A and B are shown apart, each in its own frame.
Chain A
Amino acid sequence: MADRVSKPSDSLARRAFAGAIPHNLDLGIEPLEAQDGHALAKLAYDARLVGDPETGVIHGGVVTTLIDTVCGLAVMTALDTPQPIVTLDLRIDYLKPAKPKEDLLARAHAYKVTRQVVFVRAAAYQSDEERPIANAVGTFMLLGKRAGKARK
């Protein structure tokens, strides 16, 4: 690892994330962007994940998983020193029903990093980012021994 790089680069963070997490691999969550506290991830439509067999709409729990994942990715890229993180809480508002047979995307921004807590906002959408299906806010705890370095 290049020790000049204090923050994981876009491709590094994305590769680490995509390859290391069994559940994300199994769902096929694809990180598209991850840099400086901003992240975007995609989950392709998958019949295994349907929550309403009459309409074919994906289960709300899958939206939760995609949002939790993209928030975690945004947090990782916001840190000066790579360290373990855990979700402390996550609130999701469902704004409108998802459409069947369409991919899900979620974008997150880790907008405030403190010594021990990182605050994140996220939104999930399908074809139109201006019309999100869900909005979310979350907080993540930093577990590193050196947790304590707040960014400006």
Chain B
Amino acid sequence: MTAFAELVAEARSRNDFSGLVDAIPYHRYLGIKLIELDGEMIATLPSNEKLIGNPMLPAIHGGVIGAFLETTAIFHLLSAGQTLHVPKTITITIDYRRSAGPVDTFAKGITTKLGSRVAIVRAEAWQDDPARPVATANVNFLIEPAGR
């Protein structure tokens, strides 16, 4: 196992992925954290002035929302034990539904297909109301299944 796969296995055994998130510099830059809510993994992106992409509205940069959704999808697969290695993104399609204001943003993933080589995850990001997502993404990954 690589050092990172060991970190993943350890995080899974303790059911605490916070150290894993912090191991990635870009996650620290964005301030992404993982929390568990009713057995579900939720990613959080705290509001921060440096993430603003539209100062007139104001709104968080669309690229940051895309990055947050991709990260959420990756950690969804890792935390569900569906792969031990960081999955490789083949394609990400992001739909922006409403502008994301300068407040905390949350996201979760749902695996819609788990094959031996490909996993497909749908990720949703919201602010005040989970039923009104600010953006959704469909992410296709190449994976190495956990069993190998």
B67 and A62 contacting across the interface, CB-CB below 8 Å: yes
Which residues on B sit within 8 Å (CB–CB) of A69?
A: 61, 63
A51, A54, A61: the one contacting B66 at CB < 8 Å is: A61
Mark B9-48 against chain A: 1 for CB-CB distance below 8 A, else 0: 0000000000000011111111000000000000000000
Q: Which of A24, A52, A60 is most buried by chain B, counting CB atoms within 10 A of its CB?
A: A60
A21, A51, A68: the one contacting B52 at CB < 8 Å is: A21
Say yes or no for A12: interface residue by CB 8 A criterion. Answer: no
B50, B66, B67: the one contacting A22 at CB < 8 Å is: B50
A91, B66: Cα distance in complex, Å? 10
A20, A53, A59, A86: the one contacting B67 at CB < 8 Å is: A59
Q: How far is the CB of B46 from chain A (nearest CB, A)?
A: 14
Which residues on A sit within 8 Å (CB–CB) of B56?
A: 84
Mark B99-115 against chain A: 1 for CB-CB distance below 8 A, else 0: 10000000000000000
Q: Which of A26, A47, A84 is most buried by chain B, counting CB atoms within 10 A of its CB?
A: A26
* CB-CB under 8 A for A64 and B67, given A21-B54, A94-B89: yes
* CB-CB under 8 A for A92 and B95, given A49-B29, A51-B26, A53-B24: no
Interface size class of A (residues with CB under 8 A): 35 or more
Nearest-CB residue, chain B, relative to A49: B26
Nearest-CB residue, chain B, relative to A90: B94
Nearest-CB residue, chain A, relative to B59: A86
Nearest-CB residue, chain B, relative to A22: B52
B68 and A86 contacting across the interface, CB-CB below 8 Å: no
Say yes or no for B147: interface residue by CB 8 A criterion. Answer: no
B88 and A52 contacting across the interface, CB-CB below 8 Å: no
A24, A48, A66, A68: the one contacting B26 at CB < 8 Å is: A48
Q: How far is the CB of B18 from chain A (nearest CB, A)?
A: 16
Say yes or no for A81: interface residue by CB 8 A criterion. Answer: no
A54 and B3 contacting across the interface, CB-CB below 8 Å: yes
Nearest-CB residue, chain B, relative to A59: B26
B63 and A65 contacting across the interface, CB-CB below 8 Å: yes
Say yes or no for A76: interface residue by CB 8 A criterion. Answer: no
B23, B68, B90, B93: the one contacting A53 at CB < 8 Å is: B23
Which residues on B sit within 8 Å (CB–CB) of A52?
A: 24, 86
A54 and B25 contacting across the interface, CB-CB below 8 Å: no
Mark A82-104 against chain B: 1 for CB-CB distance below 8 A, else 0: 00101111111110000000000
Query: Which 10 A-B pairs rank lowest in CB-CB distance, beginning with the nearest?
Result: A61-B67, A65-B63, A59-B26, A64-B66, A68-B63, A23-B61, A26-B50, A91-B93, A22-B52, A50-B25
* 19 contacts across the A-B interface (CB closer than 8 A): A21-B55, A23-B61, A24-B61, A26-B50, A48-B26, A52-B24, A53-B23, A53-B24, A59-B26, A59-B71, A61-B66, A64-B70, A65-B66, A68-B66, A86-B54, A90-B93, A93-B90, A93-B91, A94-B88
